[in-house]
Amino acid sequence: MKDKSGRGSNNGATPYDFGGEWTPSELEIARRLARKKKNQRSALIAALSSFLVLGTLVLVIVTSPGWETLRNTFFKWAYGVEVLPKIILGFGTNAMLTVIAGTSVALIGLAIALLRTSRSPALTPFRFLATVYVDVFRGIPMLLVILLVGFGIPALQIKGLTNNVLVLGTIAVIITYSAYVAEVIRSGILTVHPSQRAAARSLGLSNAQTLRHVVMPQAIKRVTPPLLNDLVALIKDTGLVSILGVTDAVRAAQIQTAKTFNYTPYVMAAIIFLLVTIPLTRFTDRMLRNSLEKQNAQGQA
Amino acid sequence: MSTPVLRLEKVRKSFGKEIVLEDITFTVPEHTATVFIGASGSGKSTLLRCVNLLDQIDDGQILLDGSDISAAEVNPDEVRKKLGMVFQSFNLFPHMTVLENIILAPTKVQGVSKEVAIEEAKDLLAKFGLKDKAQQYPDRLSGGQQQRVAIIRSLARHPRLLLLDEVTSALDPVLVNEVLSTVKDLKEEGMTMVLATHEMGFAKQVADEVCYLQNGRILEWGTPQQILENPQLDDTKEFLRRVHDAGRL
Ligand SMILES: Nc1ncnc2c1ncn2[C@@H]1O[C@H](COP(=O)(O)OP(=O)(O)OP(=O)(O)O)[C@@H](O)[C@H]1O
Ligand SMILES: [Mg+2]
């Protein structure tokens, strides 16, 4: 039997509007006051404990004997500001790579997911190849793929094939991430209940129309949070192409560090990555929570 | 006599080794309702799915308006345009509003313009007392309302034949009646229907013919009075007794 009670979904929600006629009873007023007090106390406790823990941590670090050296090696802000433009310029490469690879990965991943979930007999050999592809590239460290593509392809010395490390690095990233993303999308497609397909087909929709109007919208909605997680990972992983000599943020920082043996440029690069990834992570988190809340409110397992 | 809307002849269906339907023969004349009753697993859903070509039969013939829809060269999509089907549950598309659910097939399959489809959808919703639900998402409706929207959605395509598979069995008892009265209204308007149900009282009211299905065979058939009040076979009597004990009569 379906649970339609929606139990507990009303906790803490604003009370229903009864057209201005209603004033809360004594009991309700007292209850609200108590609730407010409780909330205030919780907030106070949270603030106090944060202050204590974080304060102690800072104190321990700052008073430690190595702190002076540590600060000069990693947090020399004047130097950091000096090299910042170069690192930001390098980060432009990471951003571009993210956009180009991200778009390609979305399209290729979608195509592979559709291929793997299709049942058309004509596509059987492609389905097989897609499965092999996904298994292989999900099982190899991306760094190896980057090395293989970035150094291996130029070694072939085939005319007409590019030797541009940026292009090759991008291709390696696309190859690897498409395999991940295809699996995420495929799992989303598989979670759409089979009777949704049956309902669509019985309405006369063709297979393609069923996919487009019924299956994919539901699947994509479900996999958006995990896909955003993959986007965050992609942004970070674009830093790996620096190993091919592409001047991205990581490489730019490395060049500076090599000159002065001061590691502040690395910290600066890390901060730039964080400025992009943290808001995205928070956003993903909120989205996931919202969609979970919605599912729970429906009360359906 | 004119050609019946639906005729099945010696239909057989198996899943692997398990025979689910065997020697199924019956006729549904225009404007009549044929109701299938039978225990869980007797093959009612499979029968309706076969008529809708969602499952393929192994032998026999299915004739819709006299033409063989079980023939190999028939395009299922073309056949389904003439059929409406409502399932037990999970009918509506959760990512679309009630209105979008209803106009999807008319606009995408039948090529009706969006304005006309919306107009007609609103008329249907008003007729069945769901006017104010047009812009709601299905998860905001009660189970009974959802099933009525599902019925309306299949009506919006002007089907020749409506297939209803236990449309009330996922509902709370208090919600069953509103759905059943919707079906009764359709019957009175002359809709041709094939139903599977566990509601014997309802079967009595809408059926022109009742078929008792057991292990994939039609054991007994006749008017509701004959089958439900005066069954001849022990198996039918036994089934009705069990349904009665479960409080559904
Ligand atoms: N896709 C399938 N693959 C294998 N067996 C199936 C499949 N669909 C149905 N069956 C089997 O066919 C038989 C009849 O199932 P069906 O769903 O038609 O029964 P039903 O009369 O509709 O039952 P209920 O009243 O529970 O809905 C069952 O034994 C079931 O296990
Ligand atoms: Mg069934």
- Predicted local distance difference test score (pLDDT) of residue A65: 85
- Predicted local distance difference test score (pLDDT) of residue A159: 78
* pLDDT higher than 50, residue A7: no
Instruction: Establish if B59 belongs to a structural domain.
Output: yes
- Predicted local distance difference test score (pLDDT) of residue A13: 45
Counting from 1 in the atom list of ligand 1, the atom nearest the Cα of B47 is 18
CA–CA separation, B91 and B167 (whole Å):
10
CATH code at position B183:
3.40.50.300
Site from B74, B80, B152, B168 to mutate, A interface, most A CB atoms within 10 angstroms = B80
Site from A9, A192, A203 to mutate, B interface, most B CB atoms within 10 angstroms = A203
ipTM of the complex: 0.85
Instruction: Establish if A46 belongs to a structural domain.
Output: no
Counting from 1 in the atom list of ligand 1, the atom nearest the Cα of B55 is 1
Distances (CA, A) of A180 to A140, A154, A176, A183: 11, 26, 7, 5
pLDDT band with cut points at 50, 70 and 90 for residue A71: confident
| B4 and B48 belong to one structural domain | yes
CA–CA separation, A231 and A280 (whole Å):
9
How many structural domains comprise chain B? 2
**Ligand 1 centre distance from Cα of residue A49 (Å):** 60
| B78 and B186 belong to one structural domain | yes
Are A253 and A266 within 8 A, CB to CB?
Answer: yes
Residues of chain B with C-beta less than 8 angstroms from the C-beta of A214: 93
Instruction: Establish if B24 belongs to a structural domain.
Output: yes
Residue A128 CB coordination number (10 Å): 11
**Ligand 2 centre distance from Cα of residue B207 (Å):** 18
| B152 and B39 belong to one structural domain | no
3-state SS of chain B is CCCCCEEEEEEEEEECCEEEEEEEEEEECCCCEEEEECCCCCCHHHHHHHHCCCCCCCEEEEEECCEECCCCCCCHHHHHCCEEEECCCCCCCCCCCHHHHHHHHHHHCCCCCHHHHHHHHHHHHHHCCCHHHCCCCHHHCCHHHHHHHHHHHHHCCCCCEEEEECCCCCCCHHHHHHHHHHHHHHHHCCCCEEEECCCHHHHHHHCCEEEEEECCEEEEEECHHHHHHCCCCHHHHHHHHHHHHCCCC
| B64 and B31 belong to one structural domain | yes
Which of A105-119, A276-290, B146-160, B172-186 bottoms out in mean pLDDT, i.e. has the lowest?
B172-186
Are B88 and B165 within 8 A, CB to CB?
Answer: yes
Enclosing domain of residue A257:
82-282
Instruction: Establish if B101 belongs to a structural domain.
Output: yes
Angle at B136 between CA A189 and CA A286, to 5 degrees: 55
pLDDT band with cut points at 50, 70 and 90 for residue A1: very low
| Cα nearest neighbour of B85 on chain A | A202
pLDDT band with cut points at 50, 70 and 90 for residue A2: very low
- Predicted local distance difference test score (pLDDT) of residue A238: 94
| B124 and B211 belong to one structural domain | no
Instruction: Establish if A41 belongs to a structural domain.
Output: no
Question: Which of B89, B104, B139 lies nearest to residue A298, judging by beta carbons?
Answer: B139
Residues of chain A with C-beta less than 8 angstroms from the C-beta of B153: 203
The residues in A 192-231 lying below 8 A from B, measured between CB atoms, are 193, 195-196, 198-206, 209, 213-214, 217-218, 221
Instruction: Establish if A68 belongs to a structural domain.
Output: no
Instruction: Establish if A129 belongs to a structural domain.
Output: yes
* pLDDT higher than 90, residue A70: no
For chain A, the average pLDDT equals 88
Q: For the segment A30-66, what is each residue's pLDDT rounded down to a tens digit?
A: 899 999 999 999 999 999 999 999 999 999 888 888 8
Instruction: Establish if A15 belongs to a structural domain.
Output: no
Q: Determine, for residues A195 and B94 on separate chains, whether the beta-carbon distance falls below 8 Å.
A: no
| B17 and B129 belong to one structural domain | no
CA–CA separation, A295 and B5 (whole Å):
42
Nearest to B45 by CA among B179, B194, B152: B194
How many structural domains comprise chain A? 1
Helix (H) or strand (E) holding A5: none
| B2 and B77 belong to one structural domain | yes
- Predicted local distance difference test score (pLDDT) of residue A3: 44
* pLDDT higher than 60, residue A241: yes
Interface of B with A (CB under 8 A): 49, 52, 54, 76-77, 80-81, 83-85, 87, 89-95, 104-105, 108-110, 139, 142-143, 150, 153-154, 157, 170, 172
From B14, B17, B24, B44, give the residue whose CB has the most ligand 1 atoms within 8 Å, as the site to mutate.
Answer: B44
**Ligand 1 centre distance from Cα of residue B43 (Å):** 6
Instruction: Establish if A9 belongs to a structural domain.
Output: no
pTM over 0.90: no
Residues of chain A with C-beta less than 8 angstroms from the C-beta of B89: 2, 195
- Predicted local distance difference test score (pLDDT) of residue B84: 92
Instruction: Establish if A8 belongs to a structural domain.
Output: no
Instruction: Establish if B208 belongs to a structural domain.
Output: yes
**Ligand 2 centre distance from Cα of residue B113 (Å):** 35
Local structure of A280: helix, strand or coil: helix
| B106 and B218 belong to one structural domain | no
| B142 and B171 belong to one structural domain | no
Structure tokens at A21: 């006629």
- Predicted local distance difference test score (pLDDT) of residue A11: 45
- Predicted local distance difference test score (pLDDT) of residue A236: 94
**Mean pLDDT in residue range A237-252:** 92
Instruction: Establish if A11 belongs to a structural domain.
Output: no
* pLDDT higher than 90, residue A149: yes
| Cα nearest neighbour of B152 on chain A | A203
pLDDT band with cut points at 50, 70 and 90 for residue A166: very high
Instruction: Establish if B248 belongs to a structural domain.
Output: no
CA distance A136 to chain B (A): 35
pLDDT averages per 10-residue partition of chain B, 249 residues:
88 92 93 93 93 92 92 88 87 93 93 93 90 91 89 91 88 82 89 91 89 93 90 90 76
Enclosing domain of residue B120:
92-159
CA–CA separation, B183 and A122 (whole Å):
42
**Mean pLDDT in residue range A174-192:** 96
Instruction: Establish if B249 belongs to a structural domain.
Output: no
Residues of chain A with C-beta less than 8 angstroms from the C-beta of B87: 195, 198-199
Q: Determine, for residues B93 and A214 on separate chains, whether the beta-carbon distance falls below 8 Å.
A: yes
The residues in A 11-70 lying below 8 A from B, measured between CB atoms, are none
Task: Kindly write down the DSSP assignment for every residue of A125-170, as one continuous string.
Answer: HHHHHHHHHHHHHHSS-HHHHHHIIIIIHHHH--TTS---HHHHHH
**Ligand 2 centre distance from Cα of residue B129 (Å):** 28
| B122 and B175 belong to one structural domain | no
| Cα nearest neighbour of B138 on chain A | A298
CATH code at position A222:
1.10.3720.10
| B3 and B77 belong to one structural domain | yes
Instruction: Establish if B237 belongs to a structural domain.
Output: no
Q: For the segment B154-171, what is each residue's pLDDT rounded down to a tens digit?
A: 999 899 999 999 888 877
| B59 and B100 belong to one structural domain | no
